[in-house]
Structure 1
């Protein structure tokens, strides 16, 4: 019989809320540093005189870097230990990749295409590694019964970071001129430095022990953040066992296809608004992030709903919704309709990622949480890395930057990917039921 447990947000300890706030702010910075390059797609293409397929190749190289260190970094993190120790990986990672991003703001260091790409690859190596570590850290400071809510709230930082990337890019181009577009890279490190100093001091064994005692005393389930075995070769055996988990493997495939959609929209939409809709570089950067407004709402609603109706059912609904909304860009032939379709797309565009991570956390062995999240993240970034090259090629084959046909093909290909991801969930196993009483 299912166990009924109270999981009121009013009963959540302050340490959980503080950790969520810190990890949420880290996630905003991570999203900003990734997405800012996509917002500047037309500007960078113009500055370096890149065609559609050339820009797609550049973006692919930069985005695939996100996938390279996720699994080995996650395994290292799990082997060292979870809970309060996880911050020891977050702090240097965040400071490292935001510092590299800061350096890429100087024209003397990123003045040619090769050095610019190298610096952005360096940023994404750290940002990709940091994602599963940050997701695991969030999950390990919250009771299991509220994992969906915590990861959903955490992930609202991504659409906020994406939205900030559009706002800041538009502001910099408007105020300082398009020749000074690199100024956008100065933002993240300035915020990260004091935040990481605070987090390094706050994340302690004493605090997380007190938190777990409080969670258990209130009838909820504390996370299991015990370190993995240190036996030689055990980490790789854990990785293989985690990869063979049917739910994790299928959800990784779902994640990859969905990221083709998400990254595809980020590649296609700024270029579409600039070259087809006739907006300026600043306007196209700003208008391409309208979907993040409803993305924030979606990340609060759908992950919380997945705690009640199940992860699989929620992901199927979101996948069908995403397919329909991306396909609807075909009918969006005015700026008003483009805004409406963006808002509809946004309701699910960002919502699925915390659910994917919740599936990984639910399905993995306690000592392999970050490893499972690393598998999800790697699949996501492979899809995200392939998307720019795919979309750039489709636009080029359709006639280039200024021809509508290529963009239309992109929208329908993305809709097909979203539908394919939803179909994968039909073959996943239903997890054991656990009724949760929500008193928030």
Structure 2
């Protein structure tokens, strides 16, 4: 049996690195546009006089819109084709999402809650559709042996986008005051358009063929066969759902996303109402975990290629449960920062591992469909989180009472632990990267 080589990163072809850079920037845009509304939660709630339950329902509906298009959209992407075809499929999604976000930030639009929410719903339709497409794009430009690293590096864009959302929200609120919160939605379009124009021209069949020949010459494993990138394959969704690795990992993803989005939803009002920070300070300080999230997304996904996806997921789940539970003790700004930094080491790291596990187990030509299942599960969890947070905060006495926030921290810790436990039911799958 031939043993595949594990090439150093210096041996990876430049086309892989360029694709990673582009997909990383796209991921920053996606994360920023998705997270910015949570950073602005207290400001939006004050502008429209929303109760915790009302804001929870609104945020939930916006987040659930992320779950509508990943499976049908990723299946469409697989039918259209992989490699350079998938890159071109991605272009209108990213630009369209950024344009809708820009429009939602116009003052006359943002003051109409129905129109504003409709546009944010549209933004997240595109963001949810674009996520598995972008993940698959990254996976198809890298050898399988380096898939964990590539997806981990790609996903460092999310904590950066999340961190950027907090910083921009804080700056906008400082510059324009509490009534100027909607201006934070303007940023994405100015990054998205030039990046996507470049990507549409850079991605060609010649580059994919050259890259795959280079992968072969170094004794590595192609991401997929060239014929599988042609598209129009049938039965991919049925084959994907039949995989226990993908379905159980999707369940873990759903549970973990409740935790992740729960923290994102609850921290800004907790810092504002309980710790006593200003609106701008609470927006900025609520994304501290993104700093260590960047580091974690290199360490854990790379480690998963050595010790296996499942053991890594279990370790990260237990770590996440302990760190979220520790927010119970974070009653000062300093303690909030310390706990967030610990939480951040795994908070963002798990997503590329879930996607790598799904990509490893995907049927031929079905990488995006497999990732779409993971994405859909993730966004269903994201839609559950705000409603759950709003209910728990209300049960504890409302925005200004600390009891409801304690309920949130403990319940989310339980979900994180449950996400690790269900991995026991995943059968071991032999692959070059697990």
Q: TM-score, normalised by structure 1?
A: 0.96
Q: Is the 8 A contact 2:245 2:361 kept in 1?
A: yes
- Counterparts of 1:1-400 in structure 2 under 5 Å? 3-224=3-224, 226-227=228-229, 230=232, 234=234, 237-400=235-398
Q: Provide structure 1 residue ranges, at least 5 long, that are not aligned to the other structure.
A: none
Measure how far apart 1:434 and its partner are: 4.1
SS of the equivalent of 1:123 reads: helix
Would you identify which runs of 4 or more consecutive aligned residues in structure 1 move more than 3 Å? 227-231, 433-436
Distance 1:433 1:121, change over 3 A: closer
Q: Is the 8 A contact 1:15 1:207 kept in 2?
A: yes
Measure how far apart 1:433 and its partner are: 5.6
Q: Is the 8 A contact 1:152 1:303 kept in 2?
A: yes
Number of aligned positions between the proteins: 432
SS of the equivalent of 1:6 reads: coil
1:315-335 CA distance string (max 9 Å, x none) = 000000000000000111221
1:21-80 CA distance string (max 9 Å, x none) = 000000000000000000000000001100001000000010000000110000010011
Q: Provide structure 2 residue ranges, at least 5 long, that are not aligned to the other structure.
A: none
TM-align CA RMSD = 1.3
Measure how far apart 1:385 and its partner are: 0.5
Q: TM-score, normalised by structure 2?
A: 0.98
Equivalent-residue separation in structure 1 for 2:311 and 2:300 (angstroms) = 11
Measure how far apart 1:6 and its partner are: 2.4
SS of the equivalent of 1:137 reads: helix
Equivalent-residue separation in structure 1 for 2:398 and 2:3 (angstroms) = 58
Measure how far apart 1:366 and its partner are: 2.3
1:368-414 CA distance string (max 9 Å, x none) = 11000000000000000010001001101110000011000000110
Equivalent-residue separation in structure 1 for 2:6 and 2:289 (angstroms) = 34
Q: Is the 8 A contact 1:294 1:346 kept in 2?
A: yes
SS of the equivalent of 2:213 reads: helix
Q: Is the 8 A contact 1:105 1:185 kept in 2?
A: yes
Distance 1:68 1:228, change over 3 A: farther
Aligned match for 1:414, one of 412, 418, 434: 412
Measure how far apart 1:109 and its partner are: 2.0
Measure how far apart 1:110 and its partner are: 2.5
Q: Is the 8 A contact 1:23 1:134 kept in 2?
A: yes
Q: Is the 8 A contact 1:170 1:283 kept in 2?
A: yes
Identify which range, 326-335 or 257-266, moves more after superposition.
Answer: 326-335
Equivalent-residue separation in structure 1 for 2:373 and 2:321 (angstroms) = 24
Equivalent-residue separation in structure 2 for 1:323 and 1:383 (angstroms) = 16
Q: Is the 8 A contact 2:4 2:220 kept in 1?
A: no
Identify which range, 49-58 or 221-230, moves more after superposition.
Answer: 221-230
